[in-house]
Amino acid sequence: MKVKTLNKEFELKFNGSVLALLGELGLNPVEFLVVVNNELVHELRVLNGDELVEVIPVVSGG
């Protein structure tokens, strides 16, 4: 899958839930929302192969 954060984009081989992905990336789920193919998803949503996964920090902006 393609993972996009605020300032970088990378390919990642990953199987599991949104929550597990955040864990894998070392991110606190309180501080992030995840958007898959332009739609906000629940943290238990299972991610699969060809998706565009955006990890959005909730603190961004002022």
Partner 1 sequence: MKCKNCSRQVLINDYCKDCFIKYFEKEFRKGLGNLKGKSLCIAVSGGKDSLTTLYLTKKFYPENKILALLIDEGIHGYRHGTIKSLRKYAVEWGIPYKILKFKKPLDSMNPKRPCSVCGVLRRYYLNKHARVFNVLILGHNLDDEAQSTLMNVFMRYASRFNRMTVKQVTHELFVKRVKPMRYLSEREVMAYFLLKGFNTSMRECPYARSSFRDVVRKSLNDFEYKHSGTKLSIIKTYDSLGIINNPVNLGSCNACGEPSSNEVCKACMILKG
Task: Indicate if the alpha-carbon torsion angle 28, 33, 37, 43 is positive or negative.
Answer: positive
Based on the shown chain and the rule CB under 8 A, indicate whether residue 49 belongs to the binding site for partner 1: no
Closer residue to partner 1 (CB): 13 or 60: 60
Q: How far apart are CA 50 and CA 2, in angstroms?
A: 7
How many residues sit close enough to partner 1 to count as binding (CB under 8 A)?
18
Binding of partner 1 at residue 59 (CB under 8 A)? yes
Q: Which residues in 7-26 contact partner 1 (CB under 8 A)?
A: none
CA dist 2 → 27, 29, 46, 61 (Å): 17, 19, 15, 24
Binding site for partner 1 (CB under 8 A): 6, 28-31, 33, 35, 40-42, 44, 56-62
